[in-house]
Structure 1
Amino acid sequence: QFDSAEWERTPGSAKELRRPPPRGPQAAERVGPALPLEKQPWFHGPLSRADAENLLSLCKEGSYLVRLSETSPQDCSLSLRSSQGFLHLKFTRTRENQLVLGQHSGPFASVPELVLHYSSRPLPVQGAEHLALLYPVVTQSPCPGAPAPCPSP
């Protein structure tokens, strides 16, 4: 019953089973905090809220992208797929020119640093407390004519 490739035995005990580490790049590996925002694969630039929702509708819970805000083009928004639908959260700047997300986020020097931080921790935002930024939706499709790229499970 436990002989599938999904499970493997831990050394030393034939009775203990553990899940192998997931294959493929993890969300944190797709966030290079040293890269400028414009070079991040999950930054979509001037993308409308509706277009962001169209991209995210093909993806699973925890999928995200960052785009320029429609109402304040100098600011960025995080668009996120949750179990209830979509969340759009604007990054705000403190007086010290740091970035925060919502009211309870710590300050960060850049959007990539904030995204990296919340790729392994739940978001401090009402309605998304159980979500981390797990699956970046990248801008380029893997092959011509393919729908928006979503992370593989």
Structure 2
Amino acid sequence: MKQLIIIVTLVTLVPLSAAANYDSEVRLSFPPAYSTLTKVDLEDWKSVTKEFRDNALWNQDTTEIQSCESLYTLPVTTSREGNVSFGGICTIAGSGQKVFICTDRMLGRFEVFPEYQRDLPWIAQTIFDHCWGG
């Protein structure tokens, strides 16, 4: 009986701590935008990276994006169907330089930042200040 209690305790504690850790790393409530910064789902990773590439071309930016290692979304509204702005840490083809890039779906704003921080508040504020689609 004692062993069963220990197993039950471990099973109930592990998911809670893992969820709390995951949640704290990928979500940030961002009151100025009345929104939440979250990591882009893995199944959307390819399409968001393509959107970065397309917006670079549309804005006549010579930045050629090789790949992205971190991608974030900051919806303009709390609705997941509304306008969305994105930001990510990406590698530039050829040079291998890592930069922060942001874009929005509504107006196609596109900005590249050679200097950036891997800090969620910085990422949210940069997307809001430079690529907000609202």
TM-score, normalising length: structure 2:
0.32
Structure 1 or 2: larger helix share?
2
Structure 1 or 2: larger strand share?
2
